Amino acid sequence: MSERPTLETERLILRPHSLWDADELQKLIDDKDIASTTLNIPHPYTLEDAIDWLGQREEKFETTSSPQFAITHKDGYIIGGIGLNVNKEHENAELGYWIGKKFWGEGYCTEAARAVLIYGFEVMRLNRIHAKHFTRNPTSGRVMQKIGMKHEGCLRQEVKKWDNFEDLEVYGILKSDFFKSQR
């Protein structure tokens, strides 16, 4: 069994999810504003949804080495989630994240995303990390820009969310560009 990493930043601990998180996770995610700005979060989001999703995290990490982290404040409460969906063959990953609404605007997502980029490039030895957001959610794009990602294009009507086709903005960063920006 591979060791599941834990990352630490100035204010946050990014740790593996636990089934003990289910209740707190469900309360944070069961918000229509969060579901409407993410592709894979349904609404309503039930405790059963949380338990099912958490149960899949261990299996996904073991079979793909795609780390998923609970974003927790150093005081112990959950703020959101972040992870990498890794493609080992091509040495790249897609970054995905969400933050509980009551924590929006505090810089937590940028702080967590920067730590995950460092982990992806330094520890996992990835060459490229990319991310996507709904065009109508520019706040997510600002997080991507703050961590050094560059806009690569728009995928017009790429996905369907709640019977509406959605455009996705694509951002990416190469390991070499990331480390140049850290100097």
Q: The pTM is what? A: 0.91
Q: Supply the pLDDT for residue 96.
A: 96
Report the pLDDT averaged over residues 32-47.
87
Write down the mean pLDDT value for the chain: 91
pLDDT (tens digit per residue) in 63-105: 557 899 999 999 999 999 999 999 999 999 999 999 999 999 9
CATH no. for residue 39?
Answer: 3.40.630.30
> How many structural domains comprise the chain?
1
**Residue 142 domain-assigned (yes or no):** no
DSSP assignment string, the chain: -PPPP-EE-SSEEEEE--GGGHHHHHHHH--HHHHHHSSS--SS--HHHHHHHHHHHHHHHHHH---EEEEEETTS-EEEEEEEEEETTTTEEEEEEEE-GGGTTSSHHHHHHHHHHHIIIIIS--SEEEEEEETT-HHHHHHHHHTT-EEEEEEEEEEEETTEEEEEEEEEEEHHHHHHHT-
State the pLDDT at residue 56.
80
- Could you tell me the pLDDT band of residue 60, with boundaries at 50, 70 and 90? low
Report if residue 155 sits inside a domain: no
Note whether residue 73 is domain-resident. yes
